[in-house]
Amino acid sequence: MAVTTNEVAELYVAYFDRAPDTDGLAYWVESGLAIEEISASFYEQEETTTNYPASMTDSVFVNTIYNNMFNHDADPDGLVYWETELANGSVTRPNMILAIANGALGTDQTILDNKTEVGLYSAEQGINDVEEATDIMRDVDETDQSVTVAKSLADSYAIFTLTDKTDA
């Protein structure tokens, strides 16, 4: 099954807490890899090892994922559930990110959808700068206003090519 831009954009949000860069998004979507393989590849990236060092406890790992995707720590029951899944080997760290994203409901799903929408918009604007991509995503929440503000910020960072031709 072909990987969608939405799926890859969600991985950028979850792993890196930022919008996908234009070139990276295109690369991964066109890679021919399954989303699980892309997730495993993301887990090996330097940016991931900075955000999720191997020494990070399972509870901090889970809460970091929740904060990247949903802007809050896991609820106590969810934290215990995911810590248990990791401890008994039912899920690996790279696949946990997918599992948490796939289980999003309610406001969490809205926030993830909004972050994905902003991330895709940012990529469409040609933004490849990691700091700008992080800045764009910083205040996206469940509100439409946060999406509008983030898209405006993406527009301000967008790369425009100037030519000597007259606009039509």
List pLDDT tens digits, range 102-139.
Answer: 999 999 999 999 999 999 999 999 999 999 999 999 99
Residue 143 is assigned to a structural domain of this protein: yes
The model's pLDDT over 52-103, given as tens digits with 9 standing for 90+, comes to 898 999 999 999 999 999 999 999 999 999 999 999 999 999 889 999 999 9
10 Å Cβ neighbour count for 132? 20
Structure pTM? 0.89
Q: What length is written for the chain?
A: 168
Question: In the numeric block, which tokens belong to residue 88?
Answer: 């008994």
Residue 48 is assigned to a structural domain of this protein: yes
Residue 51 is assigned to a structural domain of this protein: yes
Residue 163 is assigned to a structural domain of this protein: no
Q: Give the residue numbers spanning the domain of 34.
A: 5-157
Residue 164 is assigned to a structural domain of this protein: no
Rg (CA), the chain: 17
- Residue 168: pLDDT band with limits 50, 70, 90: low
CA dist 58 and 129 (Å) reads 30
Residue 165 is assigned to a structural domain of this protein: no
Q: What DSSP character marks residue 17?
A: S
Instruction: Give CA 59 to chain center in angstroms.
Output: 19
Produce one character per residue of 134-154: b if its CB has 16 or more CB atoms within 10 Å, e if not.
ebbbeebebeeebbeebbebb
**How many folded domains does the chain comprise?**
1
SS3 67: helix
Residue 13 is assigned to a structural domain of this protein: yes
